Structure 1
């Protein structure tokens, strides 16, 4: 024991030692500070008084005017004390007694995780628990409250005879977690009660039971385990529905989970698992798999981690070393639609596998950079993905396998005048095998008959393809500077010489990975503007434009890009329709493309704005446009976005699409904020989505409430679904847990 004090008084008759003035005692990792400490050698007790503070070996601080404690700090008694743990939780009591060094009993005590207000220390915290007895057990790591009441902003809102929580210093402990609320029109009102099993420092189990007023009892269990190299989880859930007919929509549409009393979908469930393991610093293996009794069980019951509307199950192996990359995956997509016998489920493909490999040598090759890549994909589909009303075959039934290898070399030279000259050589080779049924052949022929111009419909079971590219890029960045700003204007030109794309005009060639296609300023200077490998760009093409960037001393910054693309020779790949009409309405289907451009600005005041557009090459009519603006500065932030896409009949959009989204958030107090957003569809004249909410958050408590309304934008009012309202709230008390609902769907 180390003792420091201004004065020590030894009373040999009473066998006591008294320390007075600036007393500090350190013993066994404990520290006591007081104005006066009297030690009775006969009883082994210390009586400290005058602004007493004890800090034990765990970092817990105890404050009082007087404390009676044994010399090993294991037992003691104190009146009018305040305790602050290392995790910033607080106890206060009229008196407390400590026994055996592990059991502390607070009489007429108070517990909270909210720090006291510095300006008004006597003001009640946001929340606190008052109890006749609070028993803190250091062995079982629990805190038990007896005859307790929960107070919110100083007002009692709940009385609980007895309950127990984990020690604030404990991160994992078995016991009931805070209940949750779930509400949905088809399910009714539900209360979820989870129980957590802390079985080991490396694995645990959570079992949750949810009772719904309409559909009965939903059971869930999740096992989680962690290893030195990774972790995995396994989740199961199931229910025997009481009322499958509740899923029939007001317009008479049946859901996949609705039917008569003996409906086989009465019993529903799922199994899901996720995992990720680091094989070594360069290689990662993982999986994310969902298997369920029907196509939307996890979505309907909002099973945590598996409720995405479009769910992607996959197994993957990924390697990354320096500039080399390897990725091998097997994937399955599932649309969790509620439509009865939704054909989209059978139309979603299995991807077994998709493989990407990229290799870039560390050393220059002929003074430039060489990039080598391989892509393999094999897609299988049990049902043809084709709708006669839209002349596009989005996926054939059967199996389509393609292997692609490509290489690219480029080197940049800078002349004395600042001109950057970059020659480029590239080569790509593909081999593909296709197995399709007569249904696919008939659909392709039907599609060809409906296209504006005749095309070939040769159905090939295998084909080989190669594409060589010789390119040259010229860039001349010019700097203009003044005392208050600097500007860089960079004219650019590219020429890519290639042979024609083989099989470009034949509809029998599958297109599985290059269906998403948008031509705008960001893709103007791409060597191959198709998004995947199934389509490749052919013919000789030139891309011309300029880039601009400016910065100002006052903090403002601007940028812009503008240009056009030209088909100089050969067949225009973007004017050659494929199974999904990729390239149609893109602005590249003519020899002289549409104009594309973007501009943006950023200010130090929190203002930002951008605009991008594609304009007709002759009339400058707007074909596609997007405008964005935002302002963020305490306490307000505002965002606005407008999007316009001209009609695309071959894609199934016969009318122009225009949409605007507005959003705002305001922190009107240090801890309070309000937010809202809305989306307006100009074509239907409907606000398709609007939401409002507010939130409170501080170091010990947070609360969020939102209300969202979704509306169907179907132009035919008779076919519109009724509005769906979603209400959600969540309350979080630090150290106690979360309470609230995820969503509430109400049909008006």
Structure 2
């Protein structure tokens, strides 16, 4: 019971009562609807006897004490003194924050700081309104309990955790913060896991240190039966001008791995993946003024095997990325200066020496206001210096300028005129190494300037039907683009950092440049045509886009299966069908009429209600493009098609929920991921059982199936068991 600031015995007593009776001995008896105030405390009862000589109040019948913070204590009988800060009582019931409740046979209150309770019960669950004798969903039942009001802690001795009235766990001593506390130093709930492939049986013992109102530190010791211990910590600081959040650990990993053969058939060692290991991960961001801020994102680990062994977040990724940045925001402008470092995790597919250092990169964007001619000017630049221990090293300076002028006519035609100028200057060395593999071993200074003019027409035709409850849009789209032919970039020894991927889909059909970046540019004369149609009626939606590109010039070094290896491109399209709010289907793809096959396709479906919901997806591509630039000639794995199916099923019924998900590579006949969740949640308790199968192989091995049990008790915390 939190009684707030201590009062004084000499504080005046104010009261309201239906009846009162005075005795010569100084004893006053109030009866009826009695209300008494002394200091900041209020007392209500059917009958109160007050001794004016000693300051002792004896209350009986529907007794209630309300403290300054609103906490209420109810009792059959309560005897208080010393400004209502000392006392004893029977049949005690306390209502606290977050619906927490304490019931006890008896209580002794000392100096307004400590409440000693006998035969105590604590719960944060709702009590059944129809049968209040039914036990709550969970409760802590103890022989003795102590509520330390000054330090906001509740302790139980010789207690049981009851679930639905059944004793489940016995604990000789249990201590927790009371619900009024949001942050307080102390040990958190430990974790116990009976079995893990690499850790064995292990326990975690966390300790939380609330340093002050703005910063805290959580330290955790992990002790395992199959490997050495680990000490980790998380530091958080919420500053007035920013925030800091960092997590790190150090461990002694006893698992040493042998050599293995990677994806490319190479023999890979595994030195440095055991012994003293560690990681650090976190972020920091600071506001310099109203327009500028600086930040840091750090992700480093001693080895991928260590992350696998100790269940470190990020295991399974190809690499870790660390960045430091400075960015500014202006009216219509944005500036960012950053540097990046990459650490490869899966040495089976990529080596650390192949990964770049970005030292540094400058990005600037400007968007102007409409000018006197009705057009809008914009500018963009991304300049960088890329260094690889093994691979191409290059520097780039870039300036891209755009002028867009929209207009329309009386026929409802919407026109967009775009004038664009791309200019880039490079200096590169080691271009004969990955990812370019050019023939020249010399350093080269080169560049490109490409002016582009484009005119786009959208001509939407709209009609309504179904008595005004539906509409249809039929929108032809035509675009003409002209730019000089860009030539053969390999012959010009031009570096390539941001355009290794090429996407020709419905989303890039009308893009001025269909490469992902600007190191490679689309040149020549070409036209893009498409038809967009949209139907909406009575909650039904059908949206369709189909189109293709006609080009005078065919780029010689276009990646395979690009869809642009003829003067008339492969047609691309997208369709979305939503017959009701319970079903949504989206599909997109690219068809190759020259070889009578689909060279790209994907689909998503979502259907069902909260009671039963299904979602699924499929993606197909005839190659695995990630490996195209891994060697001077694509390895065999590049020619393996991507044909992946993903699906998920979920259901929620009252307090219960269940979900299952999976992703499978059909051509490779193997799962990529698999898992599920089964859970129950009510007003005071949560149980989730997660099952996850990891198929990522790092260091020649992969983790087994992981089973995680999470128990959440309201006002107490979450307790987890890994298996």
Asked if 1:731 is matched to 2:714, the reply is: no
Check conservation: 2:397, 2:426, Cα contact below 8 A: yes
Distance, in Å, in 1 between the alignment partners of 2:225 and 2:207 is 21
2:311 corresponds, among 299, 302, 321, to 302
Deviation at 1:603, TM superposition (A): 4.7
Q: What residue is the counterpart of 1:381 in the other structure?
A: 388
What is the CA deviation profile of residues 302-356 of structure 1, one whole-angstrom value per residue up to 9, with x for unaligned ones? 33588855311111122233432122211112232265xx752221111112221
2:358 corresponds, among 351, 357, 366, to 351
Q: What residue is the counterpart of 1:227 in the other structure?
A: 239
Q: How many residues are paired up?
A: 699
Check conservation: 1:441, 1:459, Cα contact below 8 A: no
Check conservation: 2:48, 2:58, Cα contact below 8 A: yes
Q: Where in structure 1 are there 5+ consecutive unaligned residues?
A: 385-395, 446-456, 714-718
Deviation at 1:55, TM superposition (A): 2.3
SS of aligned partner of 2:507: helix
1:205 corresponds, among 191, 195, 217, to 217
Deviation at 1:473, TM superposition (A): 0.9
2:76 corresponds, among 45, 62, 65, to 65
Distance, in Å, in 1 between the alignment partners of 2:181 and 2:259 is 44
1:166 corresponds, among 165, 174, 177, to 177
Distance, in Å, in 2 between the alignment partners of 1:254 and 1:631 is 47
What is the CA deviation profile of residues 467-502 of structure 1, one whole-angstrom value per residue up to 9, with x for unaligned ones? 111111111111110222112222111111111115
Q: What residue is the counterpart of 1:401 in the other structure?
A: 395
Distance 1:720 1:381, change over 3 A: closer
Deviation at 1:378, TM superposition (A): 1.7
1:604-643 correspondence runs (5 A): 604-618=580-594, 621-643=597-619
Q: What residue is the counterpart of 1:509 in the other structure?
A: 494
Distance 1:326 1:121, change over 3 A: farther
1:372 corresponds, among 374, 379, 391, to 379
Deviation at 1:647, TM superposition (A): 4.3
Check conservation: 1:283, 1:317, Cα contact below 8 A: yes
Q: What residue is the counterpart of 1:716 in the other structure?
A: none
Q: What residue is the counterpart of 1:565 in the other structure?
A: 549
Deviation at 1:665, TM superposition (A): 0.7
Asked if 1:526 is matched to 2:511, the reply is: yes
Distance, in Å, in 1 between the alignment partners of 2:251 and 2:490 is 52
1:114-129 correspondence runs (5 A): 114-129=125-140
What is the CA deviation profile of residues 684-728 of structure 1, one whole-angstrom value per residue up to 9, with x for unaligned ones? 333443323301223322221122334589xxxxx9978832222
SS of aligned partner of 1:418: coil
Q: What residue is the counterpart of 1:425 in the other structure?
A: 419
Deviation at 1:190, TM superposition (A): 1.9
Distance 1:282 1:647, change over 3 A: same
1:216 corresponds, among 208, 216, 228, to 228
Deviation at 1:600, TM superposition (A): 0.8
Asked if 1:323 is matched to 2:332, the reply is: yes
After superposing the two structures, state which structure 1 stretch, 95-104 or 618-627, moved more. Answer: 618-627
SS of aligned partner of 1:522: coil
Check conservation: 1:324, 1:359, Cα contact below 8 A: yes
Deviation at 1:49, TM superposition (A): 3.2
Check conservation: 2:436, 2:495, Cα contact below 8 A: no
Distance, in Å, in 2 between the alignment partners of 1:14 and 1:115 is 46
Q: What residue is the counterpart of 1:485 in the other structure?
A: 470
Distance 1:403 1:184, change over 3 A: farther
Q: What residue is the counterpart of 1:393 in the other structure?
A: none
Distance, in Å, in 1 between the alignment partners of 2:389 and 2:423 is 28
SS of aligned partner of 1:533: coil
Distance, in Å, in 1 between the alignment partners of 2:540 and 2:162 is 50
Asked if 1:191 is matched to 2:203, the reply is: yes
SS of aligned partner of 1:326: strand
After superposing the two structures, state which structure 1 stretch, 112-121 or 303-312, moved more. Answer: 303-312
After superposing the two structures, state which structure 1 stretch, 330-339 or 626-635, moved more. Answer: 330-339
Distance 1:254 1:543, change over 3 A: closer
Deviation at 1:80, TM superposition (A): 1.1
Distance 1:26 1:539, change over 3 A: farther
- Give the TM-score, by structure 2 length: 0.89
Q: What residue is the counterpart of 1:471 in the other structure?
A: 454
Distance 1:380 1:694, change over 3 A: same
Distance 1:656 1:438, change over 3 A: closer
Q: Where in structure 2 are there 5+ consecutive unaligned residues?
A: 1-11, 629-633
Distance, in Å, in 2 between the alignment partners of 1:738 and 1:196 is 14
SS of aligned partner of 2:438: helix
1:644 corresponds, among 597, 620, 632, to 620
Distance 1:290 1:244, change over 3 A: same
Q: What residue is the counterpart of 2:648 in the other structure?
A: 663
Check conservation: 2:197, 2:704, Cα contact below 8 A: no
Distance 1:79 1:605, change over 3 A: same
